[in-house]
Amino acid sequence: MPDREACRILGRWNEGRDVQIGEYASHDALGLAALVARREVHPAELLDAALAAVDLVDGSLNAVVATFAEEARRHIAEGLPEGPFRGVPFLLKDLTAHYAGQPTGSGWPPRLTYAARRDTTLVARYKAAGLSIFGKTAVPELAMNWSTESSAHGATRNPWDLARTAGTSSGGSAAAVAAGIVPMAHGNDGGGSIRVPASCCGVFGLKPSRGRNPVGPAGDLWQGMLVEHALTRSVRDSAALLDATAGPEPGQFFNSPAGGPFLPEVGRDPGRLRVAVSTKAPYGAPTHPDCIAAVAETVMLLESLGHACEPAEIDLPETGWYDFETFILAEYAAEMRAEAGLLGRPVREEDFPPTLWHMIQAGERISAVELNLALSGVHRVAQAVASLFGRYDVILSPTLAQPPVPLGSFSLAASPAEHFAAYLAWMPFTHVFNVSGSPAMSVPLVWNEAGLPIGVQFAAAPQAEATLLRLAGQLEQARPWAGKRPPVSVAKAGGAA
């Protein structure tokens, strides 16, 4: 427990009441920050509530793979910066967000003892925003599986149905936010890994434009297709966090585009938007009736709000998926060359499940010429996406082609071709907006008859986060989702209203 006597002496603790866990779970991040700013609660009390929330529900979820409470207490005792989220508990995805002195395991047993020597730029900006970072969330093994399951930590379970996936690869963060452990948590997205778990877990997930958030000091990842941000309960938290982290980073190849501040956009009228509507999955995967129905229901809502919706499809090049797959395989192989440097030895077949090893080997066989030809094909996909934004303000689609699938749906004994076929059958709608550099978001507007969240995806032209945030704020007001809590949640276990 925090040393309250020391807090009194330092004048940092308002001696009125403890924050109850149910009350803690009822606020978004800006709401908690406001309590701290008004001196109604102390950051140490919020940290206690977050740790209690982990104890309360994570045994069922397996979303949080590490906590470093004493480190967080030390930062609180030293005095958190006066940022917009001062004192708000926060979790990092255990992949690219390095926190100095803490392991970044990436769900991979050989990496579990690796401790970062310095903060990544994004983590430094999180700290400057006043966030109280206290732990890491689960990821798939090296983010190469399509569900948050790993040999290092096991399966992360969906709080709406414990037999189902929380998504990939920010599934631990999405489950933690949905269950109320934290009001928001870090995530990143190279092909859908913010939006997919947001859809699975019924939270808000915005993938920003290429280069909007910093990726240093590691350098640009996946040609700028992998972008950093967060999973949140409220739209305003996502916008305010983006304001706190976005901006140029010296030396970054794809650097921050113009735009912002974003928080004021959340309450602004988006105007009458031209909406392209598509339920046809890229490259032919069937779309589940529940996902089609979610889009149809969303169209009705949009039209009631005055927006103009019409069917439209992105005319993608036939080789687009093959080119993207070639690029990803080469990236995986390159990443494992870098991992060998960290490990001090070559990676070996026994380090990986069979599918991942075969993917790495396939990437090793791709020549420089083949990779450059594939990149040209990937650029043609980006051009095809951009052409649609000449006629429409946003594109609406399902986030996923299926509702959340059962755990164990993706075999890591499959061939790389089978593994990527499973990707296209599950999450075909998301990757094209990583390729184009467009901002895109999954919005939790619909739940199916089984009580599972079915996210819908909106995408806009590169740099047009303002359009999406205005629309998201309007949708959140028209059909609020904050009161929807899963069966496994702090709100229900802790007695929140």
DSSP-H helix ranges across 153-288: 171-179, 195-201, 235-245
pLDDT band at residue 256 under the 50/70/90 scheme: confident
- Give the span between the Cα atoms of 230 and 184, in whole angstroms: 7
What does the pLDDT look like over 26-76, one tens digit per residue? 999 999 999 999 999 999 999 999 999 999 999 999 999 999 999 999 999
pLDDT band at residue 495 under the 50/70/90 scheme: low
Please give the pLDDT value at position 410. Answer: 98
What does the pLDDT look like over 320-335, one tens digit per residue? 999 999 999 999 999 9
Please give the pLDDT value at position 342. Answer: 87
As a whole-number percent, the residues of the chain with pLDDT over 70 amount to: 95
pLDDT band at residue 228 under the 50/70/90 scheme: very high
Pick 4-494's CATH classification: 3.30.470.10, 3.40.50.720, 3.90.1300.10, 3.40.390.10.
Answer: 3.90.1300.10
- Give the span between the Cα atoms of 444 and 203, in whole angstroms: 6
> H or E stretch including 343?
helix 320-343
User: Of residues 132, 147, 169, 209, which has the active-site annotation?
Assistant: 169
Contact 265, 239 (CB under 8 A): yes
- Lowest-pLDDT range, 123-137, 210-224, 228-242, 372-386? 210-224
Whether 96 has a pLDDT exceeding 60, the answer reads yes
Please give the pLDDT value at position 6. Answer: 31
User: Of residues 93, 136, 207, 492, which has the active-site annotation?
Assistant: 93
- Give the span between the Cα atoms of 44 and 72, in whole angstroms: 9
Those residues with Cβ within 8 angstroms of residue 328's Cβ, 6 or more apart along the chain or in another chain = 191, 222
- Lowest-pLDDT range, 49-53, 382-386, 489-493? 489-493
Please give the pLDDT value at position 270. Answer: 98
- Lowest-pLDDT range, 203-212, 243-252, 391-400? 243-252
Domain ranges of the chain: 4-494
Whether 1 has a pLDDT exceeding 80, the answer reads no
User: Of residues 106, 173, 193, 209, which has the active-site annotation?
Assistant: 193
Please give the pLDDT value at position 11. Answer: 35
Helix axes 354-364, 416-426, angle to 10 degrees: 100
Cα 369 to chain centroid distance, Å, stands at: 33
Does the annotation count 438 as an active-site position? no
Please give the pLDDT value at position 297. Answer: 98
Whether 12 has a pLDDT exceeding 60, the answer reads no
Average pLDDT of the chain to the nearest whole number:
94
pLDDT band at residue 218 under the 50/70/90 scheme: low
What does the pLDDT look like over 187-196, one tens digit per residue? 999 999 999 9
Does the annotation count 93 as an active-site position? yes
From residue 269, alpha-carbon distances to 137, 392, 442, 469 in Å are: 35, 17, 20, 10
Question: Interior CA angle at 70 toward 90 and 151, to 5°?
Answer: 65
Does the annotation count 278 as an active-site position? no
Whether 15 has a pLDDT exceeding 50, the answer reads no
Whether 251 has a pLDDT exceeding 90, the answer reads no
User: Residues in the chain, how many?
Assistant: 497
